Amino acid sequence: MPRPLGELEDAVMSRVWKWNRPVTVREVLEDLQKERSIAYTTVMTVLDNLHQKGWVRREAEGRAYRYEAVSTRAAYAAALMNEAWSQSDNPAAALVAFFGMMSDEQREALRDAVRIAQVPETQKPTGSSEPAEPAERTEPVERTEPVERTEPVEPPENPASAQDTDGR
């Protein structure tokens, strides 16, 4: 299960998630430098560490790499919530306490998410004794513009399996 990202890892991943495309160390560096003084080698090390942990994949481009998120921020947050919830000896009480901490806007977002997550059933014909079949899911329409991916994808359990075959 994922561990929370450190402050600098989160700052780097925030850019990778926001831009939703392969990025270079230089691009991340230039954006981070708008907020703080930071060295190129620091950003390069953080991206390499994120690669080793399985949070980003990379592809060589000349003498540099382009890094791309393996998962979305939403999937990362969901995995953290799931990990925290699974650590509770009383999951129902943990949820009740969590809901009690939510703002009205967060509770409304939760209600919307529950409605979206429910799998609708098709209406069975009148007089039929057969159970209703779940609604068919259709494949997503291919888009030409970048869209945030929302499928829950976790980083690999074994960070060594995420390394490039040449050990980089």
Which tens digit of pLDDT belongs to each residue from 25-61? 999 999 999 999 999 999 999 999 999 999 999 999 9
pLDDT at 126 over 80: no
* Separation CA 69–CA 165 (nearest Å): 19
Residues 6+ apart with CB under 8 A from 82: 1
* Separation CA 91–CA 63 (nearest Å): 49
pLDDT of residue 163: 41
pLDDT of residue 122: 59
Residues 6+ apart with CB under 8 A from 3: none
Mean pLDDT of 133-149: 39
Residue whose C-alpha is closest to residue 25's, from 65, 82, 69: 65
pLDDT at 141 over 90: no
Alpha helices in the chain (DSSP H): 7-19, 25-32, 40-53, 73-86, 91-101, 104-117
- Tell me the pLDDT tens digit for each residue of 69-85: 999 999 999 888 888 88
pLDDT of residue 4: 84
